[in-house]
Structure 1
């Protein structure tokens, strides 16, 4: 039996269904225009950070998830260009072109890299060359999970498909009742030990990766309201994992933690965000839809602190980096906040086009990708 790696892979809204849903929800909340964010004060660099390098990819207008394997990062542009970079130097180690615009990616195990195109094809690459492609019956906005010699795909309709990593042959497929509305952003798809863990509507679900059988289901949030928009419930990509416990966010509804050993929900708390969360074992960190930055106690979900000085800015998911929590915004700024209390530690500038994905750490390098396709490497001093 092949086992899964147990690693976690990691949203930002793009044109189409997600933005339509977000706009409708905002209108339902009050119908007024979103307030303008306050001007930021001068940056005071409490924590030293220097730019080590900058590289060029292509424009990113889809829900990119940057994949990290040791010192290497794999990322992609909307036009189908897939890049592998050395995080220490920014040097390009590999470049491939799948020939179609992308809707989801990037997933990799270091040997096979997989993305999803807008024409609903999963494309697998190895050594910079295409080894297979498979047409899905649905769209997908989530990076494929490549693990245990297989490629797993989460459909926009929250179907799950397992494929052979070398041939693309379908091993199994799980279909769920189609939701009236889905988000055009990455969902939850990861591995914990030899259990495939996925977000299916408002539930975190444990799946046997060998045959697709459902092992357990854990409700993080339930549908509410009287119409399809109000009843939309979905788990969004970007989770925190500590041992067997996975903590996740339900879109504009809740955050919660689940023991993946038995599928038991440890706790859930109401939260109004649309991006993934991160954690350090003591606390969870995330950004809310109104631009507040939140920290919750990992044991019970109690609020640890809230920072509201970035209110009304559009923020990415969070990354825990040493004593800091890191996230980007839609103006191209990268913010570093103290894990202890949320106070500013530093603020980094990029090209101003907006941060396209949750920042990642590869080796000792903080890697940030912008909407224009610039890739920045920063190092803490």
Structure 2
């Protein structure tokens, strides 16, 4: 029953189109996505460099299969485990593997390995050069975020809020940390982040934690959001976004909670601002960029949390997590549009149609290239015209 509610809640939250009495005292609240308005003078335009089709895409599922760039290659997977590698500059195919697994959190790559997690709780490591399998390990539950590595350790977060460290060469489990879950959570998982011999992660109870990489020893725990309300739905404060580390500050945001800036070494709260989001954040120009649950895009000062601007013209358009590209903030929407906002004032600076299906996964920026994967499995490489 709990799994059913997780899936139900997810469908309501990510659609951005409708909500029911789960979140309102009314019988039904219809949330209509705002219609797009014409941009009078586009300050920036995108042009397609190359595109490729990747299997079935997400095949009607929610999972956000974010591509990853490593070296001169971009790696991408569909929901059924069709993994492909392309030259990032010209789209030339490098290799392709059909693993016949249900992928839950996209791929990660680096240090000679391509890593992915499955809905069956498996972590699979492939060789970056040819896609051959290096090792496979099972963890406690399904995986909805990509594993991360520093070349010595592989860290993976499963949906049951267990953080597991594996040996990067063999896949052997080295240590595991458990956290007590609330009765009801969103169907998502915060990906861990490795920084300065430590690993940082957010949890579904609203906590952020840091552990020593070598042995999993807890370094600190900090409260990002405190559950409020009389029902389990009202008390959900999941941290499903990936921690964002800039200098000696860790930024996190929770659903129905707050966005906070924490000291990297102690976990002390430097500032906190009420906000609700379950998507990854981006940074640039000394600002923090957030897509909230209503598809408003906000810019906050990294030092103080003060609001710089908020773009509301894309309300309920089921926007992706933002990414900074050149001097712009880029988000995708449910109709396949990419929207480019000025980092300075949030104004709409450009728009690009990247196919007919929804863009669910956060776009990926790499130098002067922007990579976008839509729900049908079309991967596009774009540049500024």
TM-score (normalised: structure 1): 0.90
Alignment deviations for residues 276-329 of structure 1 (CA, whole Å, 9 cap, x no partner): 211125111111222221111111111111111111211000011121000101
In 2, Cα distance between the equivalents of 1:249 and 1:178? Answer: 18
Per the alignment, residue 320 of structure 1 pairs with 324
1:39 equivalent in alignment to 2:35: yes
Per the alignment, residue 161 of structure 1 pairs with 164
CA contact (8 A) 1:74 1:84 kept: yes
Structure 1 residue corresponding to 2:194, chosen from 184, 191, 194: 191
CA contact (8 A) 2:105 2:144 kept: yes
Alignment deviations for residues 49-78 of structure 1 (CA, whole Å, 9 cap, x no partner): 211111111212322232222432222110
1:352 equivalent in alignment to 2:356: yes
Structure 2: gaps spanning 5 or more residues: 1-5
Structure 2 residue corresponding to 1:19, chosen from 2, 10, 25: 10
Structure 2 residue corresponding to 1:286, chosen from 286, 290, 308: 290
In 2, Cα distance between the equivalents of 1:113 and 1:17? Answer: 32
In 2, Cα distance between the equivalents of 1:367 and 1:100? Answer: 24
Alignment deviations for residues 248-279 of structure 1 (CA, whole Å, 9 cap, x no partner): 21123221111212222211111122322111
Structure 1: gaps spanning 5 or more residues: 1-14
How far residue 45 of structure 1 moved from its aligned partner, in angstroms, is: 2.4
Per the alignment, residue 207 of structure 1 pairs with 211
Per the alignment, residue 171 of structure 1 pairs with 174
CA 20–336 in structure 1, closer or farther in 2 if over 3 Å, else same: closer
CA 137–245 in structure 1, closer or farther in 2 if over 3 Å, else same: same
Structure 1 residue corresponding to 2:274, chosen from 249, 253, 270: 270
Per the alignment, residue 383 of structure 2 pairs with 379
1:49 equivalent in alignment to 2:49: no
Alignment deviations for residues 149-183 of structure 1 (CA, whole Å, 9 cap, x no partner): 22111111111111111211111111121331232
CA RMSD of aligned residues (A): 2.0
CA contact (8 A) 1:154 1:161 kept: yes
CA contact (8 A) 2:69 2:88 kept: no
Per the alignment, residue 97 of structure 2 pairs with 96
In 1, Cα distance between the equivalents of 2:224 and 2:326? Answer: 29
Alignment deviations for residues 136-155 of structure 1 (CA, whole Å, 9 cap, x no partner): 22122111112232211111
- Aligned residue for 2:144, secondary structure, equals coil
Alignment deviations for residues 182-218 of structure 1 (CA, whole Å, 9 cap, x no partner): 3222413111121111112312211111111111112
In 2, Cα distance between the equivalents of 1:47 and 1:281? Answer: 18
In 2, Cα distance between the equivalents of 1:124 and 1:355? Answer: 27
Per the alignment, residue 337 of structure 1 pairs with 341
CA 93–26 in structure 1, closer or farther in 2 if over 3 Å, else same: farther
Higher relative contact order structure (alpha carbons within 8 Å, sequence separation ≥ 6)? 1
CA contact (8 A) 1:242 1:281 kept: no
Structure 1 residue corresponding to 2:24, chosen from 29, 33, 42: 29
Greater Cα offset, 317-326 or 106-115: 106-115
CA contact (8 A) 2:46 2:384 kept: yes
Greater Cα offset, 273-282 or 296-305: 273-282
Per the alignment, residue 151 of structure 1 pairs with 154
In 2, Cα distance between the equivalents of 1:138 and 1:147? Answer: 23
CA contact (8 A) 1:236 1:248 kept: no
Per the alignment, residue 105 of structure 1 pairs with 106
CA contact (8 A) 1:365 1:377 kept: yes
1:295 equivalent in alignment to 2:295: no
Runs of 4 or more above 6 Å deviation: 23-26
How far residue 97 of structure 1 moved from its aligned partner, in angstroms, is: 2.2
In 2, Cα distance between the equivalents of 1:378 and 1:213? Answer: 43
Structure 2 residue corresponding to 1:142, chosen from 136, 141, 145: 145
1:78 equivalent in alignment to 2:48: no
CA contact (8 A) 1:121 1:135 kept: yes
